[in-house]
Amino acid sequence: MKRIISLAVNGVEHELAVEPRRTLLELLREDLSLTGTKKGCGIGDCGGCTVLLDGVPAFSCLTLAVQAEGCSVETVEGLAGNGRLSSLQRAFVEDGAIQCGFCTPGMLMTATELLRANPHPDEREIRLAISGNLCRCTGYQKIVEAIRHAAEADHE
Amino acid sequence: MSNDYRILNTRAPRVDAVDKATGRAQYTDDLSRPNMLYGAILHSPLAHARILDIDTSRAERLPGVVAVVTWRDAGTEPYGVSPARYDETIFCHDRVRYVGDEIAAVAATDPDTAHEAVRRIKVDFEPLPLVLDGRHAMDDGQPQLHEQYENNICAQVHWRFGDVEQGRREASVIRTDTISSKMQDAAFMEPQAVLAEVDAQRNLTMFSSTQAPHYVQRTLAMALNHPLHKVRVVKPAMGGGFGPKASCSTAELATCLLALKTGRPVKFTFDREQVFLHSRARHQFLHTMTTGVRDDGTLAFLEHECILDGGAYASFGIATVYYAGSLLGGPYRLKNMNYDGYRVVTNKPACGAQRGHGAVIARALFEIQLDRIAEELEMDPIELRLKNVMDAGETTCNELFVSSFGMREALEAVRDSAAWKKKRALAGQTRAEGKGIGAACGFFVSGAAYPIYRSKTYHCTVVTKVDEVGGGVVVQSGAADIGQGSDTMLAMITAEELGVSLDDVRVQAGDSSLSVDLGSYSSRTTLMTGAAARDAARDVKRRILSAVAGRIDVPPETLDLKDGCVISLADPIDFSALRDEYLKEHVGFSDLPDSPKLSFREASRIAFLEIGAVVGTGEYRPPKLGGSFKGAAVGTSPAFGCSAQVAEVSVDLETGEVTVDRITGAHDCGFAINRTQVEGQMHGSMMMGMGEALMEQVIYDEHGRILNRNLAEYKIPTSLDMPQLDALIVESNEPHGPYGAKEVGEGAIMPVIPSILNAIHDATGVRINELPVTPERIVRALRRKSVCAK
Ligand code: FES
Ligand code: FES
């Protein structure tokens, strides 16, 4: 039996009928065509599907859509306000933190929350924050650097 | 390094980075079509069994199921990677050979129905005895997997170069060592995905997460018996490949078959478990090497034997067994080398190519041997290596010619940057317990010199076209950007040649309908497709300049394109007549040129008005390379990359836990087209190598089932595991590469495993000859050592 839920995604209100076992990831990718959020595993191992649920990082593959009822969801598509890249996005682009880019949306969401909660993270804190987001291309080196640069840029 | 390039050799951001940072980039699974169906595949639950019957009737009756296909639809014509070893069929018909072997596929209106339909297919099996241990697969009396592979040997190599017996007589230190590894998974973040559609003329278009659109196009046409020119393979944005996505998969074939049968678009995406089942990743290697060194530390000979466990089918495995031997020909002067390699089949998922194809574990053992020999000779391990490294212009004993070679520079760079001498001198004295430092080198091809099918085909072509309205440039290529950045490389080369900005260049690539390009494997794209792109851009430039020169009546050689303008190399030129003409065409436009120089926009429009389409082409085909012995083609390349690395580790002597504290690597990429991307390839190689050294292994139970088919239990390094990575770029100016460039994507992984293993030995005094080097293995070795000491 489908249930009607309402939620805000990147500030836009949606009302949708969903099966109880539908995941938030499926809702975003298939019902709302927000394909920026990626599925690397579907079982909570890779972090590719990370979104912010009421401001907190969550694996959307492990979150049922019905659990997001009444929540505010942020995805990678919402990061660039008025077409202007966020400082994290800009740092990822300029520092070469993006190779294949499949981990990038999840990484960016995790890092966005990190910098909101802790505007001056040290390297250890950055590595800890993104340790649930796997990346097979970069060795994390340039991702860690980009997050540090974004934090610095935010305070200039 | 100083040079006159505006764009090359810089740190320009990737052309696709903004799309990827905003979620706009479309990967295959992000695509959908109206009226699209969803595919699902039935995999064998058994590792080896005869198929007695396949009953699909209950699946067909399920509402929402549109098609069910088995071998009856697909036929039983074999296909594979190498024509000499076609040993796969799209679906199994009489036998399954590994857990995961594909038996049937379904297309349904939604994914749940497709999966339910697969569950309803009934297969009667008669189990057969298994071969799971590659070590014993060749033994007499073992069950046979394929009729054509006697004793389960899928390929074997026997090479004799120089005179090993003579080398043995000259050697003063001779030692024999072994190493064994486990099968590994490439663990790219994007699972394979396919979307296939067919139009009214039976043109089949397949979007797929593939490294090699051209090879896949050929395989689809051959295996599906569909005209080659009616098969188009398009690679959307792609989330990594690292090798396994270079071969055509059943997922691709089955999805196309379903699209052809139903006439509707069909999408199919692997779940993570299927990525492990399909594999085509790193083989298991069992190496034995005997190496001899003379008094003065120079290499006298190498005798090398290897068994590769390749799983159920050949895939890229023939190349793998050749590479495992041939790439030890460098980077050291080694005149005498014997190699005996056997690639066997077992009832496990098929292995294929993975970053550092075939050569990674062989390199690991050889570099470990060098360290042990240095110890016996009481020489510094880096000194020993420096004594042996080749220089540019030399040829290996297996006839690989190194036209540029920064091996010495790379080794010295890591030695100095990591303060090797100082840290090494501390060993055994004041150094904290459990700390160690180790070094190693590596050697890799920069593009396979021969295609995988016998042909004198160009390895790639590039078409560069200037917008006929003026201003923009489009580069069209079949090359596959799998995440390594080849689209950016093409854009940078084109922009450099035409004197325009990166913003003015659009790359259309990864599409078999645009050009033949052999794909992203064997680290070939920068050297080969880069050369073709350079020539295509020069061709376009020549056309534009001669058209403009004709209009103003000057010799074309006196004109050049620079900073977005036409410049005169001779007297200043008055372009006002051309300017007027352009302005008259653009009444009402606001961003019109007004500087005294003629802009690229105007020049390219004028060229179109003069000559029509302004198109340039370029192509690349390697010269004939290599010796005449059997298998000489594998390992030949127009150029060779080389790399050195120093790893520093801390080992907890109680628990055996290894922490890698720092990795310093130097790689000779010839010339860095994009410095940031070169470093990125090095960092990624360090990470993959470190995972392979310390944690990665696919684990099977006694039934041939993978126990850890997910990314929680198949561990790859996380951000907390990875140390600070220092990537040093060495540029040796390769004469056969565009602007001097050659590979970096795979060569950089070569020294990773041995440098870490040598560092662990430095820290603990023990050697582990089984990968991955887990804490248990270290603790066991430490115990053995302390028992022996008593
Ligand atoms: S897809 Fe959700 S954690 Fe991997
Ligand atoms: S950039 Fe490819 S997985 Fe992170």
SS3 assignment, position B665? strand
- Residue B42 is given by DSSP the state E
SS3 assignment, position A53? strand
Residue-wise pLDDT tens digits, B721-773: 999 999 999 999 999 999 999 999 999 999 999 999 999 999 999 999 999 99
Asked whether A151 lines ligand 1 (CB < 6 A), one says no
Residue-wise pLDDT tens digits, B282-309: 999 999 999 999 999 999 999 999 999 9
Q: What angle do CA A55, A60, A61 make, to 5 degrees?
A: 160
The full DSSP string for B87-150 is -B-SS-SSEE-STT-EEEEEEESSHHHHHHHHHT-EEEEEE------GGGTTSTTPPPS-TTSG
SS3 assignment, position B178? strand
Q: Which atom of ligand 1 is nearest to the CA of A42?
A: 1
How far is Cα B93 from Cα B468, in angstroms, rounded to an integer?
A: 54
Q: What is the pLDDT of residue B721?
A: 98
What residues does each domain of chain B span? 17-23+454-620, 31-128+189-240+244-278, 284-447+627-789
Q: What is the pLDDT of residue B432?
A: 79
Taking the centre of ligand 2 as the mean of its atom positions, its distance from the CA of residue B58, in whole angstroms, is 42
In whole numbers, what is the pLDDT of chain B averaged over residues?
A: 97
User: Is the predicted pLDDT of residue B469 greater than 60, yes or no?
Assistant: yes
Sign of CA dihedral B136, B141, B146, B147: positive
The B173-180 sheet, strands edge to edge: B153-161, B337-344, B299-309, B284-293, B173-180
Ligand number with the minimum distance to the CA of A58: 1
SS3 assignment, position B154? strand
- Give percent of chain B above pLDDT 70: 99
How far is Cα B78 from Cα B101, in angstroms, rounded to an integer?
A: 15
Q: Whose CA is nearest to atom 3 of ligand 1?
A: A44
User: Chain A residues with CB inside 8 Å of B665's CB?
Assistant: none
User: By the 8 A CB rule, do A111 and A98 touch?
Assistant: no
Judged by a CB distance cut-off of 8 A, whether residue B684 touches chain A is yes
Pick the CATH number of B284-447+627-789 from 3.30.365.10, 1.20.1530.20, 3.40.50.360, 3.40.50.300: 3.30.365.10
Mean pLDDT of B632-647: 95
User: By the 8 A CB rule, do B218 and B210 touch?
Assistant: no
- Say if residue B670 is exposed, middle or buried (CB neighbours under 10 Å; 0-12, 13-18, 19+): buried
Among candidate residues B720, B718, B744, B722, the one with its CA nearest the CA of residue B731: B744
User: Chain B residues with CB inside 8 Å of A81's CB?
Assistant: none
Q: Which atom of ligand 1 is nearest to the CA of A47?
A: 3
Query: Backbone phi, then psi, for B169, in 5-degree steps?
Result: -65, -30
Residue-wise pLDDT tens digits, B336-387: 999 999 999 999 999 999 999 999 999 999 999 999 999 999 999 999 999 9
Q: Which of B10, B20, B273 is the mutation pick for testing A, counting most A CBs within 10 A?
A: B20
Q: Which residues are B640's β-sheet partners?
A: B445
Architecture of domain B31-128+189-240+244-278: Alpha-Beta Complex (3.90)
Residue B331, preceding bond cis, omega within 30 degrees?
A: yes
* Contact check, Cβ <8 Å, B25/A142: no
SS3 assignment, position B173? strand
* Contact check, Cβ <8 Å, A99/B720: no
Residue-wise pLDDT tens digits, B205-244: 999 999 999 999 999 999 999 999 999 999 999 999 999 9
CATH number of the domain at B17-23+454-620, please?
A: 3.30.365.10
Q: Which residue of A has its CA nearest to B110?
A: A30
- Give percent of chain B above pLDDT 90: 95
Asked whether A58 lines ligand 1 (CB < 6 A), one says no
Q: What is the pLDDT of residue B363?
A: 98
Q: Which residues are B232's β-sheet partners?
A: B205
How far is Cα B716 from Cα A133, in angstroms, rounded to an integer?
A: 11
Consecutive H or E run containing B246: none
Q: What angle do CA A28, A33, A39 make, to 5 degrees?
A: 55
Ligand number with the minimum distance to the CA of B684: 2
Chain A (82-141) residues lying within 8 Å, Cβ to Cβ, of chain B = 85, 89, 92-96, 98-105, 108, 126-128, 130-141
- Say if residue B262 is exposed, middle or buried (CB neighbours under 10 Å; 0-12, 13-18, 19+): middle
- What Cα–Cα distance (Å) separates residue B84 from each residue in A101, B95, B149, B220, B315? 37, 21, 12, 18, 11
* Contact check, Cβ <8 Å, B27/A38: yes
* Contact check, Cβ <8 Å, A141/B688: no
Mean pLDDT of B165-170: 98
Query: Backbone phi, then psi, for B176, in 5-degree steps?
Result: -115, 130
Q: Which of B185, B719, B729 is the mutation pick for testing A, counting most A CBs within 10 A?
A: B719
Query: In which residue are the tokens 């052309």 written?
Result: B15
User: Is the predicted pLDDT of residue B427 greater than 90, yes or no?
Assistant: no
Q: What is the pLDDT of residue B2?
A: 60
- B21, B720, B724: residue with CB nearest A98: B21
Angle between helices B407-417 and B381-388 (to 10 degrees): 160
User: Is the predicted pLDDT of residue A79 greater than 70, yes or no?
Assistant: yes
User: Chain A residues with CB inside 8 Å of B274's CB?
Assistant: none
Query: Would you report the helix, strand and coil content of chain A in percent, each value rounded to 5?
Result: 40, 20, 40
- Say if residue A35 is exposed, middle or buried (CB neighbours under 10 Å; 0-12, 13-18, 19+): buried
User: Is the predicted pLDDT of residue B409 greater than 50, yes or no?
Assistant: yes
How far is Cα B646 from Cα B410, in angstroms, rounded to an integer?
A: 11
- B238, B484, B718: residue with CB nearest A131: B718
Judged by a CB distance cut-off of 8 A, whether residue B190 touches chain A is yes
Domains of chain A: 3-75 (3.10.20.30), 87-154 (1.10.150.120)
Consecutive H or E run containing B348: none
Q: Which of A127, A137, A145, A149 is the mutation pick for testing B, counting most B CBs within 10 A?
A: A137
Q: What is the pLDDT of residue B425?
A: 80
- A39, A127, A137: residue with CB nearest B719: A127
User: By the 8 A CB rule, do B345 and B382 touch?
Assistant: no
Q: Which residue of A has its CA nearest to B189?
A: A40
SS3 assignment, position B25? coil
Global confidence as pTM: 0.97
Alpha carbon B783 to its chain centroid, in Å, reads 39
Domains B17-23+454-620 and B284-447+627-789 share a fold: yes
Q: Cβ contacts of residue B18 below 8 Å, gap of 6+?
A: A85, A89, A93, B24
- Say if residue B416 is exposed, middle or buried (CB neighbours under 10 Å; 0-12, 13-18, 19+): middle
User: By the 8 A CB rule, do B472 and B466 touch?
Assistant: yes
Residue-wise pLDDT tens digits, A33-65: 999 999 999 999 999 999 999 999 999 999 999
How far is Cα B260 from Cα B204, in angstroms, rounded to an integer?
A: 8
Asked whether A132 lines ligand 1 (CB < 6 A), one says no
Q: Which atom of ligand 1 is nearest to the CA of A50?
A: 2
* Contact check, Cβ <8 Å, A101/B11: no
User: Is the predicted pLDDT of residue B1 greater than 50, yes or no?
Assistant: no
User: In which band, very low, low, confident or very high, does the pLDDT at B787 lie, cut at 50, 70 and 90?
Assistant: confident
CB contacts < 8 A, A to B, total 175
Query: Backbone phi, then psi, for B304, in 5-degree steps?
Result: -135, 130
User: Helix/strand/coil (H, E, C) string of B375-438?
Assistant: HHHCCCHHHHHHHHECCCCCECCCCCECCCCCHHHHHHHHHHHCCHHHHHHCCCCCCCCCEEEE
Ligand number with the minimum distance to the CA of B712: 1
Q: Whose CA is nearest to atom 3 of ligand 2?
A: A135
Residue-wise pLDDT tens digits, B312-324: 999 999 999 999 9
Burial state string for B194-227 with b = 16 or more CB within 10 A and e = fewer than 16: bbbbbeeeeebbbbbbbbbbbbbbbbbbbbbebe
Q: What angle do CA B128, B131, B133 make, to 5 degrees?
A: 160
How far is Cα B738 from Cα A141, in angstroms, rounded to an integer?
A: 28
Mean pLDDT of B468-475: 97
User: Is the predicted pLDDT of residue B430 greater than 80, yes or no?
Assistant: no
Q: What is the pLDDT of residue B633?
A: 87
Asked whether A47 lines ligand 1 (CB < 6 A), one says yes
User: Chain B residues with CB inside 8 Å of A146's CB?
Assistant: none
